[in-house]
A and B are shown apart, each in its own frame.
Chain A
Amino acid sequence: NAGVTQTPKFQVLKTGQSMTLQCAQDMNHEYMSWYRQDPGMGLRLIHYSVGAGITDQGEVPNGYNVSRSTTEDFPLRLLSAAPSQTSVYFCASSYSFIAGGYEQYFGPGTRLTVT
């Protein structure tokens, strides 16, 4: 049971490049989400999904796209990278908010630098 895995661990992009951050979980969790962590800001919700085929925006969605074609995978796409997207990105999952499963399991993070 690997839990929540994220790839890559580190990435450097040039302004305007696009890329996809990968996230997978093997716990059959319904709920998955993406956060970014910036100094002094805590973790901010980018996008989330309550099941395959269902996604919605969080607090800071601009510049990011997501899709959820399977229960296991929830990739985050940066469409045209900007220096303001330099951050540490965390993916998380939980079994269900409705059922009280608020406890989220986090991946190890991806440190992204945009130059």
Chain B
Amino acid sequence: DQQVKQNSPSLSVQEGRISILNCDYTNSMFDYFLWYKKYPAEGPTFLISISSIKDKNEDGRFTVFLNKSAKHLSLHIVPSQPGDSAVYFCAASVGYKLSFGAGTTVTVRA
């Protein structure tokens, strides 16, 4: 049973606009949340994270929002750039274990 769910397998966005990726989780014990980006034939690379005691974290064009009452996480990318075209994984951790969502493929159109 997947504890972290990304219900949108794909997202297409125009260059310069905002990309919003969503993630839901079921385990209320998760204490840290992360987003990873993955290009084809490469390993995932860390993008941004947020502790469960916060509700927002920003890093340049990337902002992660956490709504603990709704068990919902979102990643905003503003503005979207062609190099942002990749698969994005949401992940959550409790103890030493990290659980990943199935991923959302983002395509940025010129």
Contact = CB atoms under 8 A, between A and B. Distances in A.
The A contact surface, by secondary structure, is strand
Contacts of B100: 35, 42-44
B75 interface: no
Contacts of B96: 31, 48, 50, 56, 97
A53 to B, nearest CB: 15
Contact of A43 (B44, B49, B95): B44
Interface string B26-68: 0000001010100001111110010000000000000000000
B93 interface: yes
Interface in A33-61: 33, 35, 40-45, 48, 50, 56, 58-59
With most chain A CB atoms within 10 A of its CB, the pick from B4, B89, B97 is B97
A33 B98 contact: yes
Nearest to B46: A103
Contacts of A56: 96
A98 to B, nearest CB: 9
A43 B89 contact: yes
A9 B98 CA distance: 24
B88 to A, nearest CB: 11
Nearest to A50: B96
Interface of B: 2, 4, 6, 9, 32, 34, 36, 41-46, 49, 89, 91, 93, 95-103
Given A35-B100, A42-B103, A106-B43, 15 more contacts: A31-B96, A33-B98, A41-B2, A42-B6, A42-B89, A45-B99, A48-B97, A59-B97, A90-B43, A102-B49, A102-B93, A103-B34, A104-B98, A108-B41, A108-B42
